Amino acid sequence: MNLPLTPPSGSARHRTPASKLDAKQVGSIRQIENIAGQLDGEWTMMGGRCGLQEDFGAFRYQMAYAGLALALTHFHRLPNAPGVFKPIFENLIRKMMHPGVWMYWHFVSQGGALTNGHLWGKLKGKWDPVKEDNIMFSAYLTLLPMLYNYLFDDDRYAQPGALKMSINPLTFGDRMVFEYDQHKLSDIIYWQMVQNGYLGVACEPSCVFQICNQPSILSFRIEDFIKGTSRAQEVTEGYVKAWKEFGSVDAGGHFMVHVVTDIKMPIPNALPWLWSDAWLAALMHSWNPEFVHEHYPAMLQKFLIPGPDDTCAVRLWEPFEIRGVTTGADTADFGWAAVAAAELGDDKTLRGLLAHADRFMNPTWRDGGLHYPRNDVRYDENGIVRLVEPITSNTLLPFARLNVPNGLNTFYNQPWTRAHYAEPLLTEISNNVDVVEARFDPSASELRFTLNARQDRSGDAAISISNVFEKGRGSWKLYRDGVETASGDDERVSRAADLKIERHADVMELVAAREAASAYSLVWA
Amino acid sequence: MTFVTAKFDLVDHDGRPVTEASYRGRWLLVYFGFTHCRVVCPRSLTRLSNVLGALAPDLAHVIQPLYVTVDPKRDTPEVMRDYLTARYPLFVGLTGTEDQVAAAKDAFKVFSRPKPDPENPANYDVPHTAITYLIDPAGAYATHWPETSSAGDVVSDLQARLMITASQS
């Protein structure tokens, strides 16, 4: 990777004050781990109302934003514990390639709905979900492997054919296989952006949404970290110019939703929808924070509903008629408001929304994961917001709870240097403990990590720590709960009490009895 | 997967029909624009002329700079020849019918869309992709540089690519 050896000039390296994850944050990570770890085709707790993979009930959104939430958590809160996140990412990427996630494209590629009805009957359905348009899927299938490469310094998804989608139906058609890799996907998206004058790539045919191109911008930025390129700068400069023609903000003061490109028609957020504004605000805050802060707070004020005891909620999207039928969809207004509040550092709103969720949305623990069971009732008899969509439970509230103020913005602008990957890292962690702290302090040559026992699992805790036995690193001591329990140097373990430690190449493998919580400190002389 | 096929079937500014095969054996530096462009094209063509001027003569000699119009209605061969010979004499201008230019744009993934010129209602502007493409002597896409690339970066990159090729031949 072409990461800089030193932080970019003029930007002090962001360091979140060392702190341990609280129980709800741990439960949020576990909820994502639980849904991602389900077998292929198993989507328990993830099913939305629509079932057509076209609103926020779509699996792809749940998995993509779960991945982004984990990326921010790793970057800001547990930077030295990649082993917590890497297996979950592998599951998320695996599940993203399941046909149940992307086969909607065959139907959506034909156009003909609310957004592009004038195309109905003119287009043939396509199967390959990433070759053209469909940025609402391809952006995420690119982003997750890019994040994986960057966070874990592992380019397995950059190998030719590493991202393979296939169907082999029994009852129709023929076997179809679509093989890609992260950079090929990025190139596909990039050249479509170039050819569209950087306005963006369409979701459904001829419909270029502002929001759906934000994950691609983020993905380009990550690719720039990996390859030393500057696509994100090129694309964002072009994007700003291109959207000037149509306006990024509509006459009502909301973010323009999309442009129907073949008839050059901008579509405002006329109803308006909070989810659209909040989603864009959160993501665009990564690269265009001044613009977001200039416009979004006024948008939010139109929706906020104050509640008792410093709780707050938001006015929900109103169902409307499609072809004479009143239609509800998973819009996740509440969840996106929480994500935006967390990213923009609006602590009062964030605390109010999370408090509302904990008080009125039935927080439930299942297999160590914290979730809020789906509830299709919008408001109760007292006017209290009760609606919970799966994405709000599985992904957005975890995202809001785990992010830090300006978290995406910092992630975008202050990348890790190569030095990060040479630090001691918890690379493998047995599934019977939660890591609630993992941070290396270079100035003190100290890796601090804390393990909490999972109540629903048994056995000893096993941890692998890489970059320990590197020549020249010197002698070390390991403390558990303040008591020295082991010592050694860059070649061997000389003493270990009450736990088992072995050296395998540069990796320290540690096995210890599982206790409720154990705080470790690995210190070099 | 080839994104930029770099194929074209156009007319040069001396009125001769040309395709990508007409330049086989030379590196092509390809830029799309239009002669009425007030800001972007002059800036880019000046920068690229400086890039070519900064190269060693033996390297510059194997490069053919091409300026392809996105405005064939106004950019006839004569208009392009007059524009380029007066200002950017290293470049050969290419134009054609609307369909020919559209096909070339598609082959290079170039965006352009005419719109009214706010400073001159009787006129029109044509915002366009401001990428510079490098096509290798076999006619295959080699790389490209966005508008944000500095002349120095383009020179360095070009020198590296051309010298590697020269050392291999």
H/E stretch holding A123 = none
> Which of A184, A196, A234 is closest, CB to CB, to B1?
A184
Grade residue A114 by pLDDT with cuts at 50, 70 and 90. confident
* B41 among annotated binding-site residues: yes
Domain count, chain A: 1
CA distance to partner chain A, nearest, from residue B164 (Å): 21
Q: What is the pLDDT of residue A318?
A: 87
Q: Provide the residue type at B74 as one letter.
A: R
Q: Picking from A6-15, A22-31, A224-233, A463-472, which range would have the lowest pLDDT averaged per residue? A: A6-15
CA distance to partner chain B, nearest, from residue A167 (Å): 22
Mean pLDDT (whole number) for A147-173:
97
Residue A157: exposure state from Cβ atoms within 10 A (0-12, 13-18, ≥19): buried
Q: Find which of A189, A195, A199, A235 to mutate to test the B interface (most B CBs within 10 Å of its CB).
A: A195
pLDDT tens digits, A68-97: 999 999 999 999 999 999 999 999 999 999
Backbone φ and ψ of B35, nearest 5°: -70, -20
Cross-strand partners of A435: A451
Query: CA–CA separation, A127 vs A131, rounded Å?
Result: 9
Mean pLDDT (chain A, rounded): 94
Residue A458 in any domain: the answer is: yes
CB-CB under 8 Å, B111 with A194: yes
Query: CA–CA separation, A315 vs A478, rounded Å?
Result: 52
Q: Picking from A99-103, A449-453, A513-517, B53-57, which range would have the lowest pLDDT averaged per residue? A: A513-517
Q: What is the pLDDT of residue A323?
A: 84
Q: What is the pLDDT of residue A14?
A: 38
Beta strand ranges found along A423-471 (DSSP E):
425-429, 433-441, 446-453, 461-466
Task: Assign A430 to helix, strand or coil.
Answer: coil
- Whether chain B has a CB inside 8 Å of the CB on A262: the answer is no
Neighbours of A424 (CB within 10 A): 24
CB-CB under 8 Å, A234 with B4: no
In chain A, which among 172-231 make CB contacts under 8 A with chain B?
184, 187-188, 191, 194-198, 230
CB-CB under 8 Å, A234 with B148: yes
**Higher local confidence (pLDDT), A259 or A19:** A259
Extract the tokens encoding A387.
Answer: 């609606």
Whether A18 shows a pLDDT value over 80: the answer reads: no
Extract the tokens encoding A83.
Answer: 């082993």
Grade residue A336 by pLDDT with cuts at 50, 70 and 90. very high
What is the CATH number for A507?
A: 2.60.40
Q: Say what percent of chain B tops pLDDT 90.
A: 85
Q: Own/partner pairs for A267-273, CB < 8 Å, 24+ apart?
A: A267/A115, A271/A317, A271/A318, A271/A320, A272/A299, A272/A302, A273/A317, A273/A331, A273/A333
Neighbours of A6 (CB within 10 A): 9
pLDDT tens digits, A487-500: 999 999 999 898 99
Whether A43 shows a pLDDT value over 60: the answer reads: yes
pLDDT tens digits, A258-303: 999 999 999 999 999 999 999 999 999 999 999 999 999 999 999 9
Q: What is the pLDDT of residue A3?
A: 54
Interface of B with A (CB under 8 A): 1, 3-4, 109-113, 115, 127, 129, 131, 146-148
CA B89 to chain centre: 13
Mean pLDDT (whole number) for A442-463:
96
> Which of A184, A188, A197 is closest, CB to CB, to B127?
A197
> Which of A196, A233, A245 is closest, CB to CB, to B111?
A196
Task: Assign A7 to helix, strand or coil.
Answer: coil
CA distance to partner chain B, nearest, from residue A199 (Å): 10
- Provide the residue range defining the domain that includes A453: 424-524
C-alpha to C-alpha distances, A207 to A143, A153, B55, nearest whole angstrom: 21, 35, 44
Q: Picking from A15-19, A228-232, A415-419, B61-65, which range would have the lowest pLDDT averaged per residue? A: A15-19
Residue B24: exposure state from Cβ atoms within 10 A (0-12, 13-18, ≥19): exposed
Entry pTM: 0.95
| CA dihedral for A85, A89, A95, A101, sign (positive or negative) | positive
* Whether A140 contacts A215, CB under 8 Å: yes
Q: What CATH number is given for B9-168 in this structure? A: 3.40.30.10
Query: CA–CA separation, A485 vs A244, rounded Å?
Result: 63
Q: What is the ipTM of this complex?
A: 0.94
Extract the tokens encoding A278.
Answer: 């909040």
CB-CB under 8 Å, B109 with A195: yes
Q: What is the pLDDT of residue A112?
A: 85
Q: Of A313, A317, A310, nearest to A332 (Cα)?
A: A317
H/E stretch holding A294 = helix A289-301
DSSP string, A197-236: TTS---SSTTEEETGGGHHHHHHHHHHHHHH---HHHHHH
Q: Provide the residue type at A314 as one letter.
A: V
Q: Is the peptide bond before A272 cis (omega within 30 degrees of 0)?
A: yes
pLDDT tens digits, A457-489: 999 999 999 999 999 999 999 999 999 999 999
Extract the tokens encoding A479.
Answer: 């403390």
Residue A505 in any domain: the answer is: yes
Extract the tokens encoding A61.
Answer: 């959104």
CA distance to partner chain A, nearest, from residue B106 (Å): 8
Q: Is the peptide bond before B17 cis (omega within 30 degrees of 0)?
A: no
Which residues of A fall within a CB distance of 8 Å from B3? 187-188, 191
* B61 among annotated binding-site residues: no
Q: What is the pLDDT of residue A519?
A: 96
- Whether chain B has a CB inside 8 Å of the CB on A245: the answer is yes
